[in-house]
């Protein structure tokens, strides 16, 4: 049950309050979501009891500003590991309010990593290969320049950079990254153009998808792309784009497969794989290098609705393989992969001389100044993300809280100190300022719910454009039509869940 159509700004913090009870005690989820791609901006699990209780939740938009957002309740299966906490029962909601209480301040410069590169003379070189950059607020703006005249060219039509590799030598490429607040980082990268080198033994055919395909090549797919799987999907290669329309992911990652077979991995060679990808809804995409007699090499990428370039480096240390399957998978990855359309372009494999040296400390995103109202519970990990240029296994749980003196019972300024270490033993330390303020100091809300106390009894429907609350079900969820009943001190909303489904938004 939700209300869409809000404008939410980057860094905004909201106090969300409501009264609730259930015929049987259970968990529900309260979420702030982007309303078109359904990206979850903030999520809190609330355990409601059989007695009327007022609950308060702090929601934070730590992603970026969105013109369309929604705030809602989710009554499905909240935690698949604890299904007993999500029984099918009747839930009662009343007096829903929200206040804008402040903003997270962003004065942190963007991050960038651009390893030095070596290419053969006249060999095509993409200056974004191996480059990783980001910011705590949104994807920043990147420019590439050089003091060598004519070395770097930018096309305003394609938005791409090209580098002249016709003359051997050592050059410096300067990368400037600027975020939406004007914070800037400058990074110099060395490019060596040599007199010649061997090409990659791992080859991709039609990686730019200029050759159309509407049917898969029979196995083994050696001269183009093949696809199959137990999921429900349609794959086409048309007008320079590979498109995978996924209708049902199946229950495994290989429910949807897109691949080339009998590729070659040579012992001792190091490869740089790059590709462009996006999806109609944010989801995961898996890439594998697999063959009999070798451990499968797996990488998982987070697709958004915008085109992004992804990179992956790999050194093949075992014996040479000639029966390698190079594949993308768009099935059910970690149980959080939406059935949607996935797009691929510019799949390229290059041989590089070595893996990029990992000497850069990992990053903790979102550790900016934080405001919280006196008396509210403080979660020191709220709004944080772990990021590293190479160690993709780093997650929120790897962030260590070194110290935390926050006392929300007393207004004042406090600090939390964090540390994060990657697999190469690079460590970073962050200090976060936490301001405990009184309710009187909090900003006045600019958001008003329609029928937040349910006294007007505005119809609750499944229409996303409904004037009031919207009640919808997702994967396997079943609810009875919403009712207005007399309870507490007036009218409340009654939502009866008969099947919680398999996900929180069931």
Strand order in the sheet with 2-8: 2-8, 66-74, 26-34, 40-48
Helix, strand, coil percent content, the chain, rounded in steps of 5: 0, 50, 50
Asked if residue 196 has pLDDT above 50, the reply is no
Q: What is the pLDDT of residues 201-243, one digit of tens each?
A: 889 999 999 999 999 999 999 999 999 998 889 999 999 999 9
Residue 467 dihedral angles phi and psi, to the nearest 5°: -70, -25
Highest mean pLDDT among 32-41, 128-137, 162-171, 496-505: 162-171
pLDDT band (50, 70, 90) for residue 197: very low
Write down the pLDDT at residue 478. Answer: 78
- Ordered by where they begin, the domains of the chain are 2-104+444-500 (2.60.120), 111-194 (2.60.40.10), 226-352 (2.60.120.260), 363-441 (2.60.40.10)
127-131, 136-140, 167-171, 403-407: range with lowest mean pLDDT = 136-140
Q: Given the DSSP bridges, would you call strands 370-373 and 427-437 parallel, antiparallel or unpaired?
A: parallel
Beta pairing partners, 484: 493
The proportion of the chain whose per-residue pLDDT surpasses 90, expressed as a percent, equals: 48
Q: Which residue has better confidence, 367 or 198?
A: 367
Element (H, E) at 21: strand 12-22
b (16+ CB within 10 A) / e for 205-235: ebbebeeebeebbeeebeeebbbebebebeb
Chain segment 338-362, per-residue pLDDT in tens: 789 999 999 999 888 777 777 778 8
| Distance of alpha carbon 348 from alpha carbon 200, whole angstroms | 10
Q: What is the pLDDT of residue 481?
A: 77
Number of H helices, E strands in the chain: 0, 34
Q: What is the mean pLDDT of residues 176-199?
A: 81
CA 120 to mean position of chain CA atoms = 35
> Does residue 493 have a pLDDT over 50?
yes
Separation between Cα atoms, residue 223 and residue 213, nearest integer Å: 12
What is the per-residue pLDDT across 34-43, written as a single tens digit (0 to 9) for each? 887 788 989 9
pLDDT confidence of residue 216: 96
Report the pLDDT averaged over residues 73-90: 93
For the stretch 389-404, pLDDT in tens is: 667 688 899 999 999 9
Contact 314, 289 (CB under 8 A): yes
Report the Cα 165 to chain-centroid distance in Å: 35
């Amino acid at each position: 049950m939700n209300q869409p159509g809000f404008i939410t700004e980057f860094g905004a913090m909201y106090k969300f309050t409501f009264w609730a009870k259930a015929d049987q005690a259970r968990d529900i989820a309260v979420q702030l979501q982007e309303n078109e791609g359904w990206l979850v901006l903030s999520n809190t699990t609330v355990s409601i009891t059989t007695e009327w209780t007022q609950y308060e939740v702090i929601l934070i938009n730590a992603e970026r500003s969105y013109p369309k957002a929604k705030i809602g309740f989710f009554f499905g299966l909240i935690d698949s590991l604890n299904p007993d906490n999500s029984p099918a029962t009747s839930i009662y909601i009343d007096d829903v309010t929200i206040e804008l209480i402040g903003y997270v301040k962003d004065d942190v410069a963007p991050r960038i990593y651009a390893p030095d590169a070596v290419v053969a003379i006249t060999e095509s070189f993409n200056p974004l290969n191996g480059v990783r950059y980001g910011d705590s607020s949104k994807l920043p703006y990147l420019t590439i320049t050089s003091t060598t005249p004519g070395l770097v060219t930018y096309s305003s039509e394609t938005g791409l950079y090209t580098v002249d590799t016709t003359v051997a030598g050592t050059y410096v490429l300067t990368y400037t990254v600027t975020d939406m607040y004007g914070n800037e980082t400058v990074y110099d990268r060395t490019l060596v153009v040599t007199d010649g080198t061997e090409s990659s033994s791992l080859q991709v055919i039609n990686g730019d998808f200029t050759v159309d395909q509407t049917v898969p090549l029979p196995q083994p797919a050696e001269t183009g792309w093949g696809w199959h799987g137990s999921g429900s999907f349609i794959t086409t290669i048309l007008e320079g784009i590979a498109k995978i329309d996924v209708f049902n992911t199946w229950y495994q990652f290989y429910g949807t497969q897109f691949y080339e077979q009998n590729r070659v991995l040579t012992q001792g060679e190091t490869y740089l794989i790059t590709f462009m990808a996006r999806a109609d809804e944010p989801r995961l995409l898996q890439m594998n290098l697999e063959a009999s007699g070798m451990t499968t090499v797996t990488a998982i990428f987070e697709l958004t609705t915008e085109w992004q370039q992804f990179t992956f480096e790999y050194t093949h240390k075992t014996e040479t393989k000639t029966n390698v399957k190079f594949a993308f998978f768009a099935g059910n990855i970690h149980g959080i992969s939406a059935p949607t359309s996935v797009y691929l372009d510019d799949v390229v494999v290059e041989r590089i001389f070595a893996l990029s040296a990992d000497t850069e400390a990992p990053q903790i995103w979102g550790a900016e100044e934080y405001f919280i109202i006196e008396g509210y519970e403080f979660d020191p990990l709220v709004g944080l993300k772990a990021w590293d240029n190479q160690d993709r296994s780093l997650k929120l749980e790897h962030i260590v809280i070194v110290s935390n003196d926050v006392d929300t019972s007393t207004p004042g300024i406090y600090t939390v100190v964090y540390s994060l270490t990657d697999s190469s033993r690079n460590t970073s330390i962050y200090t976060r300022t936490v301001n405990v303020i009184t309710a009187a100091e909090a900003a006045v809300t600019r958001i008003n719910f329609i029928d937040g106390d349910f006294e007007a009894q505005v119809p609750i429907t499944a229409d996303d454009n409904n004037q009031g609350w919207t009640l919808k079900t997702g994967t396997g969820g079943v609810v009875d039509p919403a009712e207005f009943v007399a309870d507490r001190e007036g009218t409340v909303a009654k939502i009866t869940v008969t099947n919680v489904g398999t996900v929180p938004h069931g």
